[in-house]
Amino acid sequence: MADPLFPVLPVPHGPVRWGAMTCAQSPLAEIVSLGAFSGVGRDELVKRIHEAFGVILPDQPRAVASADGGCSFLWSGPSQWLAVAEEGAGLLSRLREVCGDVCALTSQSDSRSIMKLSGPGVREAMSRLVPIDLHPTVFGKDHVASTLAGHIPVIMWQTDDAPTYLFFVFRSFAASLFHDVSVALSGFSSSEMDICV
Amino acid sequence: MRLTCPSCGSRGLEEFTYRGDASVRRPAADGSEQAWVDYVYLRDNPCGRHQELWYHGAGCRSWLVVTRDTRTHEVFDVRNARDVILTERQTDAGEGEAS
C-alpha cells in the first residue's frame, strides 16, 4: 500500500546546538536572481543598482549590502547576482522598476532555503564538508562561494567573523544538507570541542 | 587534479565536467564534406599539451578552456571560453581588414 504523505519539516524547527556551535533554519527570505543581458546590460545594471541601492555590484565572489542595509547582493557567477531581503520587502517589484529592462529577474524565494551555522569551531567543522579553503586569510567576512557541501550544490556566505555561515540550498536538498551538517558538527570529540570553545 | 577557475579560484575536479577538445571549430555551412566529417567525428588523442573544454557546473557555471598536459595532468592555463572565442573573433576580424 502506498504511504500517505504528510507535511514534515526537513530540519528541526528550533536551532540545534553542538557545544557552542548552532545550526538553525533562517527565516524565509525574498531571493531574486539577476542575470544581466548581453551587450550593455551588465554596465547598465551596475549603474542602476548603484543609483537605487547605493552599492556597487561585486565582480568577484563577494556579498555587499545596500546603503540602507535593507538587502544584500551576492555574486553568483559572471554578470549574475542574487539579491536577498527579508520576506515582505517587495524586492522583486522594486528591482523590476529599477532594472527590469536590462537584466533577467527571477524570484528564487521558493527555490532555496537558508541554513545558518555559527559559533566557534564551525569553520573547522565546515572544512570537513566543503572542498574549499575556509582559512580566515582566504575566506573571510562577506566572501561568497558556489560550491558543493557533500554532494549538494550550495551557495555559502560568511556573514561575520564569529564565524557565521549562511548556506543557500535547494529546498528539496535541505534535509540532506542538514544531515551532512549534523554529521560534520557532531564529529568533534569533546576534547576538540573544548579547544574550539 | 584541481583547476583554478578565473572567477572562483582553485577548486576540486568534482565541481567540473569535461566536455571535449576545445580546439575544434565548426566549418562554414558550405564547407566540404570531409571538413564536416572531421568536425563531427574525428578527434585527436594527443599525448601532451591539450586544450579542453570544462564546465564549472557546481560553481559559477562558466565554460572554461583548460590547457593541460594529458601525461602529467599539469595545468598550464585556464581561461573563460567566452574570452577565448571573443579574442579569436577579434583576431579574425583584424586579419580580414588587413587583407
pTM over 0.80, yes/no: yes
Q: Kindly determine whether residue B15 and residue A148, on different chains, have CB atoms separated by under 8 Å.
A: yes
Report DSSP state, residue A28.
P
**Considering the domain boundaries, does residue A195 fall inside one?**
no
Q: Kindly determine whether residue B11 and residue A131, on different chains, have CB atoms separated by under 8 Å.
A: yes
Pairing status of strand B17-21 against strand A112-118: unpaired
Measuring CA to CA, which residue among A52, B6, A67, A185 is closest to residue A193?
A: A185
Tens of pLDDT, residue by residue over B26-44, are 999 999 999 999 999 999 8
Q: Which residue of B has its CA nearest to A148?
A: B58
Q: Which residue of A has its CA nearest to B12?
A: A131
Q: What share of chain B is helix, strand, coil (3-state, %, to 5)?
A: 30, 35, 35
Query: According to the model, what pLDDT value does residue B50 have?
Result: 94
Measuring CA to CA, which residue among B68, B66, B57, B7 is closest to residue A58?
A: B7
Asked, as a colleague might, if the bond just before A163 is cis with ω within 30 of 0, I would say yes
A23 with A33, same domain: the answer is no
Rg of chain A over Cα atoms, rounded to whole angstroms, equals: 18
Measuring CA to CA, which residue among A36, A51, A153 is closest to residue A105?
A: A36
Which stretches of chain B sit within 8 Å of chain A by CB?
Answer: 7-12, 14-15, 58-62, 80, 82
Asked whether the beta carbons of B2 and B56 are under 8 A apart, the reply is no
A77 with A169, same domain: the answer is no
Q: Kindly determine whether residue A61 and residue B10, on different chains, have CB atoms separated by under 8 Å.
A: no
Question: A162 lies in which domain range?
Answer: 16-27+111-187
Compute the distance between CA of residue A74 and CA of residue B12 in angstroms, rounded to an integer. Answer: 22
- Coil, strand, or helix at residue A98? helix
**Considering the domain boundaries, does residue A196 fall inside one?**
no
Within 8 A of B10 by CB-CB distance, chain A residues are 133
| Domains of chain A: total | 2
Query: According to the model, what pLDDT value does residue A153 have?
Result: 95
- Per-residue pLDDT band for B65 (boundaries 50, 70, 90) equals very high
Question: Which cell numbers hold the place of B49?
Answer: 599539451
Relative orientation angle of helices A91-99 and A41-53, to the nearest 10 degrees: 120
**Considering the domain boundaries, does residue A155 fall inside one?**
yes
Q: Where are the beta strands (DSSP E) in A66-151?
A: 71-77, 80-86, 103-107, 112-118, 144-149
Q: Which residue of B has its CA nearest to A131?
A: B12
- Per-residue pLDDT band for B91 (boundaries 50, 70, 90) equals confident
How many Cα atoms are found within 13 Å in the side-chain-facing hemisphere of B87? 7
User: Any idea what the CATH number is for the domain that residue A176 is in?
Assistant: 3.30.1360.120
- Per-residue pLDDT band for B96 (boundaries 50, 70, 90) equals low
Query: According to the model, what pLDDT value does residue A170 have?
Result: 94
Q: Kindly determine whether residue B11 and residue A147, on different chains, have CB atoms separated by under 8 Å.
A: yes
User: Any idea what the CATH number is for the domain that residue A67 is in?
Assistant: 3.30.70.1520
Tens of pLDDT, residue by residue over A140-172, are 999 999 999 988 999 999 999 989 999 999 999
Asked whether the beta carbons of A136 and A120 are under 8 A apart, the reply is no
Is residue A34 within a helix (H) or strand (E), and if so which, with residue range?
strand A29-36
Compute the distance between CA of residue B88 and CA of residue B95 in angstroms, rounded to an integer. Answer: 11
Query: According to the model, what pLDDT value does residue A12 have?
Result: 73
- Per-residue pLDDT band for B98 (boundaries 50, 70, 90) equals low
Report DSSP state, residue A162.
T
- Select from A57, A88, A107 the last residue of a domain: A107
Query: According to the model, what pLDDT value does residue B35 have?
Result: 95
Contacts of A110 (CB under 8 A, 6+ apart): A171
- Residue ranges of chain A with per-residue pLDDT less than 70: 1, 7-10, 188-197
Q: What is chain B's mean pLDDT, rounded?
A: 91
Query: According to the model, what pLDDT value does residue A58 have?
Result: 95
Q: Which CATH superfamily is domain B2-96 in?
A: Folate-binding superfamily (3.30.2270.10)
Compute the distance between CA of residue B47 and CA of residue B49 in angstroms, rounded to an integer. Answer: 7
- Select from A59, A75, A107 the last residue of a domain: A107
Within 8 A of A61 by CB-CB distance, chain B residues are 7-9, 60
Is residue A35 within a helix (H) or strand (E), and if so which, with residue range?
strand A29-36
Name the residue with cell 573571510: A140
